[in-house]
Amino acid sequence: MDRALELNLIEELLGLREAKTHFLDQAIEFNSVDHYQSEIIFNEERESIFTRLPAVAAHVCEIPNPSDFVKREVAGRSIIVTRDAEGKARAFLNVCRHRGTQLVSEESGCKHRFTCPYHAWTYANSGELVSAPHLESGFPGLDKAQYSLKALQCDERFGFIWVVANPEVTIDFEQYFAPIADEAEALDLADMAIAREEKKVHKSNWKILVEGGLESYHFKVAHRKTIGPYFEDNLSSYQMLGDHMRSVLMRSSMHTLKELPTSQWRLRDHANIIYTFFPTTQLLVQQDHVVWINSRPVSATETELRLVTLAPTSRLEDDTYWEKNHRITSNTLNEDFVIGESIQAGLATGANEQMTFGRFEGALPEFNRVVKRYTSA
């Protein structure tokens, strides 16, 4: 992060604390509860957002070498993410071009060829159909070049392998990530590895789960038994970075910086920084590691979350330390996820027609504006 920006972010929050106020937007805002329940809106989001924008399929440490692969689901599609002989990351729909069988059933492995379990059509890990039993007699004139695996746009960036789930769509990754790229790069995520992880389907709309990470209004209440005491009450700021967002949640320790020269001010030590990479990836930047939250929207009312503690590779062996850290993160975030399920159940009663966002919850309507820009909602 640019040093002047880092100091500005700290000064802004210190100023708000001193003035005993909050980071306030212009006005109270609303969002119809349909956006969290309607399968019609969800399907639109799937078509216009999840299949068309980059989603993280894997961290680079999950396929470090040529021929390593993982099977993933993105926007309801099973995909294979692998590295070809040159080490280039590639992604394909996990579908045999003969009659559609899923090629790979294992979650991960190392193979330079994928052979279909039905009639053994075999593909190179760069996608080409290399052989098929009795090809000449059974399929005279078939142009093998037309039968490569369906490739998805795939890009290695900030330590992650990003894919676009619709093979007909290509986007300009450079441009899409430009407003957040420098800060994402500075996190050195490629030099980190998975220390701990967990995965669970929550009965909650994906946006409710994202929204839970965008405000600190709830910290002193919902997190009173975990991290609440370490944070200022309802003091956080946010900035849009294109479709993405940076949120800065002020720790109670930040005010002690006033006794130190600004040369010693380090935002990361006195705030939680959350980067929301639109639409489904959030990074929670902690003092010495990063928590990666990957969301996989399943339906209007269900979302699978993968919660990963990424630790610097050089410190990965400190098992007890990462176990302890991951437990704290998991316990805290699960407080949010349980509330997310409670909100979803609450909306289903019909008690509320809209979500009501206070002026210090301005990041939530901003996030929803990005969603609506991609859909006709």
Interacting residues toward ligand FES by CB under 6 A: 96, 98-99, 101, 116, 118-121
Binding at 241: pick from ligand FES, Fe ion, none (beta carbon under 5-8 Å per type): none
Between 121 and 277, name the residue whose CB sits nearer to ligand FES: 121
Between 119 and 372, name the residue whose CB sits nearer to ligand FES: 119
Give least dist CB 168 to ligand FES, A.
22
Q: Which residues contact 28 (CB under 8 A, 6 or more apart)?
A: 356, 357, 358, 359
**Distances, alpha carbon 144 to alpha carbons 2, 63, 67, in Å:** 51, 28, 22
Residues in binding contact with Fe ion, number by CB under 5 A: 1
For the chain, give percent helix, strand, coil, nearest 5.
Answer: 35, 30, 35
Residue in the block written with tokens 């294979």: 80
Residue in the block written with tokens 């901003």: 366
**H or E element that contains 197:** strand 192-202
Binding of residue 336 to Fe ion (CB under 5 A) = yes
Binding at 220: pick from Fe ion, ligand FES, none (beta carbon under 5-8 Å per type): none
Between 243 and 336, name the residue whose CB sits nearer to Fe ion: 336
Of 110, 352, 338, 19, the closest CA to residue 204 belongs to 338
Give least dist CB 113 to ligand FES, A.
13
Virtual CA dihedral for 264, 269, 274, 277, nearest 10 degrees?
60
Task: From 108-116, 296-304, 314-322, 333-341, give the range in contact with Fe ion by CB under 5 A.
Answer: 333-341
Binding at 336: pick from Fe ion, ligand FES, none (beta carbon under 5-8 Å per type): Fe ion
Of 215, 238, 221, the closest CA to residue 355 belongs to 215
Single-letter code of the amino acid located at 216:
S
Between 139 and 230, name the residue whose CB sits nearer to ligand FES: 139
Between 20 and 134, name the residue whose CB sits nearer to ligand FES: 134
Binding at 266: pick from ligand FES, Fe ion, none (beta carbon under 5-8 Å per type): none
Give least dist CB 205 to Fe ion, A.
16
List interacting residues with Fe ion (CB under 5 A).
336
